[in-house]
Each structure stands twice: as structure tokens, then as C-alpha cells.
């Protein structure tokens, strides 16, 4: 500890260089922590998937619907327990919230308050998803009301909605729009979840009757996807193949996969998300390693005479090496702390900024935050970068002979 | 105090062998003030480095304060230097980011002294060289003569037995050089420090009790 002021004084010697290095390190750790937090959140989302659930969609793209009669045929496949029609509605609140009995003629949408909303075949859907715990009386009321909807607790808290409230949604998907204005909904239930039993379950979501969507638009709509519950998770591969085989020779071939694979594919439509994010993190870390190593080498080279003086005064080579490594580690500590703080701040800002937080919620990242293990990992990376950057110049100082270093005055 | 026996020092540059010291014998009794003189390249600084324990002879023995310096390991030699030798450089070699007191305190960081004891000792050493009022000044705020006095305070703060000085007045004006030499005489006379000084300057050498001349690696009395 008695050497710490000495190390700090050296770091202050060229404060612009020190600050630049710390900032570079901070940017690296900031990116690392932020990207890893996104990945961790995505993984949590995927872990929330059940092994007994499959998703059947159009083989070409999610943009195309699966014909409705497919649901009945899928039910006949051995091993299939339930099938629920599911469609991503993509509805947005109108800019002005409608009061009960409003005519809904307003067409301006409020994108800043976007939240996930799905039209589902309610009875089988809620049986397939036990994590959405709707009180029985409210579920009963929901089933009896065509305009009824159930909303998650987080959504209810966000808008202050309660049972009996009404609101309007208009989809950004043209076939899901009514000719006479937006869809009107009545909150018939508010569901909770048991996060200990179903970790990663998001209650910032709304469900309503698929039948209402179909009849409201007056179009022959298909299903966005079919959510399939199977008896045995071990049979997921066989059942998926059997389902897809049913429609192999039809115009609308299907692709069936586990819910986890479906979500992973949905989240990483742009490619392999994990590979991309880790790749970015690795490239940035390596670049910063080179920058920091260069800085440390320059700093040590400038101090060759001082290192010789220290050794002459009786500082052992190991002590001198330790001082240089400690200096590099301190750069890592400062950069790491700054990067972790910045990452935490940006995630807080994102999840608390209207519009952005809703967009994040829309892709299931409403809980985005800096997890302790990601922060610890980020700090470890910062320390490693500092150590790796400082080791070579420190080793060089360790090996250098006093007389050689004094001769370079 | 210093006993150099048949010391040879040979450097190798590519395939060439350069003999810098060739069979040197030198004895310096405790409390002596010795000047080593000679032209550039005669081996003065190399001999001084051997006595200070920052270099090793190719052959021969260097005994300082009862220790065969060349026989010590690298880390043992460093520890030995911190206890027994104070080094005064031509260009002072103070650490620019440290104040005068912090520079003087540096060798004490290797001891078990408390922070307060280190501070007190450093201030005492600065008082000895007459710079107690410059304790908080940085090297850039001091004159050359003052910097060299701080360097001398740093050399004596751990109370070493031997002081080695490599051209201590080589970078100073005549007045400052005179002050530094006076200070070294005081250290030798009043504090009984054994001093081995390398110098080109005959006036500086006259302050020493004994003068030795080196030529082409050989000592001429």
C-alpha cells in the first residue's frame, strides 16, 4: 500500500495519456458489459421457453400466415396435446387515449407506448402457458366477452389499467386493420406470474381473442403461428417432423421447431446474435489491449533512467516489475469501473426512456439491466487487459541491467 | 571498507572483447574520501559501479563493508545496496513527479519504518543538506545545485556506510560545485561516511584525501 501514492503520481505524470487510456479501456468495458447484458437477457428469455411447446409457422417466412385449417390437422398428429392459433397483432395505442364509449375515430398512433399484443385461441393458449396466471373469475369473464382482453401486471401498472377499462389499438400490419377504425378492447383480467417457478416470464404483454381479430377485419386471415403442446419433450423432433410432413405437398409448407429455437431465431433474425455480439466484444477488447500495451510501453520507455535509479536505490527487479504491473492494473481498475458505471447508466436510461423502453419491451428486453455476474466479468476483463498490457514492459524492466539503462540517459 | 582484488571487467560487443578493467587492486579504509580520476573510457565509472554493487566483475573480488558483492544473488544484492550504499549521480536523477521530500523518502519505502518515521527521516536528511525549506518543491522548481543536494539527501537517508558519486559536480556551475564538494566533505568528516568519487575535475579531486588515476583499465597511483 505504501507504493500506491507513488503509482498514482506516475499516472498523473502525463494525465492526458492516462485519461485517454482509461477512457479507451472504459469504452471497451462499457461495450462488453452492455452487449453481454443484452445476451444474458436474451438467454433468460430463451430459458423461459418450455420443452413441451413447439411453434409451427409458414416455411417461407413469418410474414406469411399458416392456413387456419392446419390447426385441426396438427391436432391429429400423435404426441400433440393442444394447438392454439397465435397471431402477433402489432397494435399501438392511439395518441389520445379513448374514454369508455369513444368512437375510436382517431387514427394517430402512439408509438412511444408500444407493447406486445397477441391474438390467441384463448382456451388452449392459456392451458399451454400456465405461467400466465389469470384469476378464474376474470378468465371466465374474458372468455365470455369478444372484446375482452387480459393484460400482464406490468402492463396494468404501466398504464394504470384495471378490470373494466377500455382502450383502442390499431395494428401497423395492414391486413389486421378494421375499415371502420381501431379495435376497441375491454380489460377483463390482469394476470401475474410466479417468477421463481417461471423465471424470465414477462408480464408486459396483452392477449385477446383471435376470433375478434378475424371477425373484426372481415378478412379470411390465417394464423401467424400455431402454438403446439406435446406430451413428451423427448419427442419434439419426431413430432415436429410429423407436423411438417403433413403439409409437405401443400402450397403453404410449414416449419415446426421448439419454442426455444423459434424465439432464438426470432431474436437473431439478423444472424447469429451471440457470435456477432461476442465478435464485437472480442475485437474491441483486442484493440484496446494493443492501445494500452503501447501506452504502457511508452510510459516505461520514458522512465528507463528512473527504473535504473530505483534499482540502484535497492528496489529489487521484482518490486520494480510489480510497480509497473500495478500501474497497468490501476488503469484497468479505473477503466473497468468507468465502463461498468457507464453501462449501468445507459441501460437505466434506455429502460426508463419512454419510447425506447417500449421498443425494448416489444422484443422482450424490458428487464435489461447490468447483472452482477456480467459486471464482475467486465471487471475481470479490465483487469486482464491491464495485466496483459503491463506485463511485457514490466518484464522488460525486470530484465534490464542498471548500467545499460543508465547509459541511455 | 572497500577491497577490490584483481578485478577484471570485460565487455563483449559482437565477437569483439573489450577489457575495461584489467586486474585492478584498490583498498579504501573506512572513513576515507577517495577520488578516482582518469580520461574518458578509462574505466572509472565501471569501477565505481562494481563498488556500488550495480555491476559484477568478470573476475576478481569486490568486498564492500565485509560483503563479497559479486557473490550475492540479484535480489540479495538489491537489498544489500539499500542498506550499504548511497549513490550520487552526475545528473541527479530525481523522480520528476515526486517532491524533494518524496524523492528523499524513496529508499525508506524498502524499510519497515512507519509513514511518519519515513517522513521525519527524509526531512532530517533534507536539513543536513540545507534544504528543509524546499521539502515540498518538485525537481523542476529547484536549481541544479539544489537538485544535487536533494540527491545527496536521498543517498544518505538510509544511513549507508559507503557513498559513491559519479561526477557529482559535472553538471554544475563552479559555485554550486563548491557547495556540493563542501557538503561531501562534511559528510565524510562529521558523519564518517566513506566516499568514493569519480571526477574529471582536479579541483574536485583535491577535496579527497586520496586520488587514484585510471588509464586504459589499469590503476596508476
Q: What are the domain boundaries of chain A?
A: 4-46+272-407, 60-252
User: Could you list the residue range(s) of the whole structural domain that residue B50 is in?
Assistant: 2-97+143-220
Structure confidence at residue A69 as a pLDDT band (50, 70, 90): very high
- Residue B126 confidence (pLDDT): 95
pLDDT tens-place string over residues B93-134: 999 999 999 999 999 999 999 999 999 999 999 999 999 999
Inter-chain CB proximity B98 and A9 less than 8 Å:
yes
Supply angle C-alpha B121, B122, B125, rounded to 5: 85
- DSSP code per residue over A325-367: HHHHHHHHHHHHHHHHHHHHHHHHHHHTSTTHHHHHHHTT-TT
- Residue A267 confidence (pLDDT): 62
Q: Which residues of A touch B55 (CB under 8 A)?
A: 401-403
Q: Which residues of A touch B161 (CB under 8 A)?
A: none
Average pLDDT over residues A301-317: 91
Average pLDDT over residues A73-92: 92
* pLDDT at residue B216 greater than cutoff 50: yes
For residue B97, give the nearest of A12, A308, A319 by CB distance: A12
- DSSP code per residue over A254-294: EEEEEHHHHHHHHHTTTS-HHHHHHHHHHHHHHHHHHHHHH
Cβ partners under 8 Å of residue A267, min gap 6: A42, A45, A46, A273, A363, A364
- Residue A95 confidence (pLDDT): 56
Q: Which residues of B touch A317 (CB under 8 A)?
A: 74-75, 78
Q: Is A290 exposed, middle or buried (0-12, 13-18, 19+ CB in 10 A)?
A: exposed
Q: What are phi and psi of A292, to 5 degrees?
A: -70, -40
A154 versus A47: the higher-pLDDT residue is: A154
Inter-chain CB proximity B82 and A314 less than 8 Å:
yes
Q: Which residues of B touch A305 (CB under 8 A)?
A: 93
Rounded Cα distance between B91 and B183, Å, is 17
Q: How far is B204 from chain A (nearest CA, A)?
A: 23
Cell of A5: 501514492
From the list B139, B129, B130, the residue with the least C-alpha distance to B98 is: B139
* pLDDT at residue A405 greater than cutoff 50: yes
- Residue A111 confidence (pLDDT): 59
Structure confidence at residue A138 as a pLDDT band (50, 70, 90): very high
- Residue A110 confidence (pLDDT): 59
Cβ partners under 8 Å of residue A395, min gap 6: A321
Residue B110 covered by a domain: no
Phi-psi sector, B75: left (phi>0), alpha (psi -120 to 50), beta: alpha
Percent of chain A with pLDDT over 70: 89
ipTM above threshold 0.90: yes
Q: Could you give the 3-state DSSP secondary structure of residue A120?
A: strand
- Look at strands B162-166 and B194-198 and give their pairing: parallel
Structure confidence at residue A353 as a pLDDT band (50, 70, 90): confident
Structure confidence at residue A99 as a pLDDT band (50, 70, 90): very low
Number of domains within chain B:
1
Inter-chain CB proximity B109 and A310 less than 8 Å:
no
Structure confidence at residue B156 as a pLDDT band (50, 70, 90): very high
Q: How far is B115 from chain A (nearest CA, A)?
A: 8
CA-based nearest residue in chain B for residue A11: B97
Q: Which of B77, B93, B159, B165 to mutate to test the interface with A (most CBs of A within 10 A)?
A: B93
Q: Which of A17, A309, A310, A313 to mutate to test the interface with B (most CBs of B within 10 A)?
A: A313
Average pLDDT score, chain B: 91
Q: Which residues of A touch B110 (CB under 8 A)?
A: 313-315, 319
From the list A324, A302, A318, A326, the residue with the least C-alpha distance to A394 is: A324
* CATH value at residue B21: 3.40.50.300
Inter-chain CB proximity A314 and B93 less than 8 Å:
no
- Residue A48 confidence (pLDDT): 65
Location of C-alpha cell 390467441: A120
- Residue B166 confidence (pLDDT): 92
Lowest-pLDDT choice from A22-31, A241-250, B212-221: B212-221
* pLDDT at residue B191 greater than cutoff 70: yes
Collect all residues from B whose CB is shorter than 8 A from any CB in A: 49, 52, 54-55, 74-75, 78-83, 87, 89, 91, 93, 95-98, 102, 106-107, 109-110, 115, 154, 158
Inter-chain CB proximity A316 and B154 less than 8 Å:
no
Average pLDDT over residues B53-80: 91
Q: How far is B10 from chain A (nearest CA, A)?
A: 14
- Residue A109 confidence (pLDDT): 55
- Residue A8 confidence (pLDDT): 87
Q: How far is B3 from chain A (nearest CA, A)?
A: 20
Residue B122 covered by a domain: no
Location of C-alpha cell 518543491: B137
pLDDT tens-place string over residues A261-291: 777 766 655 456 777 777 888 888 888 888 8
- Residue A106 confidence (pLDDT): 47
Average pLDDT over residues B86-99: 91
DSSP conformational letter for A408:
T
Average pLDDT score, chain A: 86
Collect all residues from A whose CB is shorter than 8 A from any CB in B: 2-3, 6, 9-10, 12-13, 305-306, 308-319, 401-403, 406, 409
- Residue A195 confidence (pLDDT): 81
Amino acid at each position: 500500500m505504501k507504493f500506491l501514492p507513488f503509482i498514482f503520481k506516475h499516472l498523473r505524470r502525463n494525465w492526458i495519456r492516462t485519461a485517454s487510456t482509461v477512457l479507451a479501456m472504459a469504452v471497451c468495458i462499457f461495450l462488453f458489459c452492455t452487449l453481454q447484458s443484452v445476451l444474458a437477457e436474451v438467454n433468460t428469455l430463451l430459458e423461459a421457453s418450455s420443452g413441451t411447446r413447439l411453434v409451427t409457422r409458414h416455411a417461407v417466412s413469418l410474414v406469411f400466415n399458416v392456413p387456419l385449417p392446419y390447426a385441426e390437422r396438427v391436432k391429429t398428429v400423435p404426441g400433440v396435446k393442444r394447438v392454439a392459433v397465435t397471431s402477433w397483432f402489432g397494435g399501438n395505442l392511439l395518441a389520445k387515449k379513448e374514454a369508455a364509449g369513444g368512437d375510436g375515430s382517431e387514427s394517430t398512433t402512439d408509438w412511444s407506448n408500444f407493447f406486445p399484443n397477441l391474438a390467441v385461441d384463448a382456451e388452449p393458449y392459456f392451458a399451454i402457458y400456465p405461467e400466465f396466471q389469470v384469476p378464474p373469475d376474470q378468465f371466465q369473464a374474458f372468455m365470455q366477452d369478444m372484446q375482452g382482453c387480459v393484460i400482464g401486471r406490468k402492463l396494468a401498472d404501466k398504464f394504470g389499467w384495471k378490470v373494466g377499462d377500455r382502450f383502442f389499438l390499431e395494428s401497423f400490419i395492414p391486413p389486421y386493420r378494421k375499415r371502420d377504425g381501431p379495435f376497441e378492447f375491454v380489460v377483463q383480467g390482469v394476470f401475474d406470474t410466479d417468477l421463481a417457478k417461471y423465471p424470465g416470464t414477462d408480464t408486459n404483454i396483452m392477449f385477446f381473442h383471435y376470433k375478434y381479430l378475424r371477425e373484426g377485419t372481415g378478412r379470411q386471415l390465417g394464423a401467424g403461428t400455431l402454438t403446439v403442446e406435446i406430451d413428451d419433450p423427448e419427442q419434439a423432433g419426431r413430432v415436429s417432423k410429423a407436423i411438417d410432413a403433413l403439409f409437405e405437398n401443400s402450397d403453404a409448407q410449414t416449419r415446426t421447431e421448439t419454442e426455444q429455437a423459434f424465439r432464438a431465431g426470432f431474436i437473431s433474425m439478423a444472424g447469429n446474435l451471440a457470435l456477432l455480439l461476442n465478435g464485437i466484444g472480442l475485437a474491441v477488447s483486442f484493440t484496446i489491449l494493443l492501445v494500452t500495451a503501447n501506452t504502457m510501453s511508452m510510459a516505461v520507455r520514458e522512465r528507463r533512467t528512473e527504473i535504473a535509479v530505483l534499482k540502484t536505490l535497492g528496489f529489487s527487479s521484482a518490486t520494480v516489475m510489480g510497480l509497473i504491473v500495478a500501474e497497468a492494473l490501476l488503469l484497468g481498475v479505473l477503466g473497468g469501473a468507468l465502463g461498468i458505471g457507464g453501462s449501468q447508466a445507459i441501460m437505466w436510461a434506455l429502460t426508463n426512456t419512454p419510447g425506447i423502453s417500449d421498443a425494448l419491451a416489444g422484443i422482450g428486453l424490458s428487464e435489461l439491466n447490468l447483472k452482477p455476474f456480467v459486471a464482475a466479468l467486465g471487471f475481470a476483463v479490465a483487469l486482464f487487459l491491464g495485466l496483459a498490457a503491463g506485463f511485457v514492459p514490466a518484464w522488460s524492466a525486470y530484465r534490464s541491467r542498471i548500467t545499460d539503462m543508465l547509459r541511455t540517459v | 571498507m572497500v577491497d577490490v582484488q584483481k578485478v577484471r571487467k570485460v565487455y563483449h560487443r559482437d565477437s569483439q572483447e573489450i577489457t575495461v578493467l584489467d586486474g585492478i587492486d584498490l583498498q579504501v579504509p573506512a572513513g576515507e574520501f577517495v577520488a578516482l580520476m582518469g580520461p574518458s573510457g578509462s574505466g572509472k565509472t565501471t569501477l565505481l559501479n562494481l563498488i556500488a554493487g550495480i555491476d559484477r566483475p568478470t573476475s576478481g573480488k569486490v568486498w564492500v563493508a565485509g560483503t563479497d558483492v559479486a557473490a550475492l544473488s540479484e535480489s540479495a544484492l538489491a537489498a544489500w545496496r539499500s542498506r550499504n550504499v548511497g549513490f550520487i549521480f552526475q545528473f541527479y536523477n530525481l523522480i520528476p513527479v515526486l517532491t524533494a521530500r518524496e524523492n528523499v523518502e524513496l529508499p525508506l519505502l524498502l524499510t519497515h519504518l512507519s509513514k511518519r518515521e519515513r517522513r521525519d527521516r527524509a526531512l532530517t536528511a533534507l536539513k543536513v543538506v540545507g534544504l528543509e525549506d524546499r521539502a515540498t518543491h518538485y525537481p523542476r522548481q529547484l536549481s541544479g545545485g539544489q537538485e544535487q543536494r536533494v540527491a545527496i539527501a536521498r543517498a544518505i537517508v538510509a544511513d549507508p556506510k559507503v557513498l559513491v558519486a559519479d561526477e557529482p559536480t559535472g553538471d554544475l556551475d563552479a559555485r554550486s560545485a563548491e557547495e556540493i564538494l563542501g557538503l561531501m566533505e562534511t559528510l565524510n568528516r562529521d558523519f564518517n561516511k566513506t566516499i568514493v568519487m569519480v571526477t574529471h575535475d582536479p579541483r574536485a579531486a583535491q577535496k579527497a584525501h586520496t586520488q587514484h588515476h585510471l588509464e586504459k583499465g589499469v590503476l596508476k597511483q
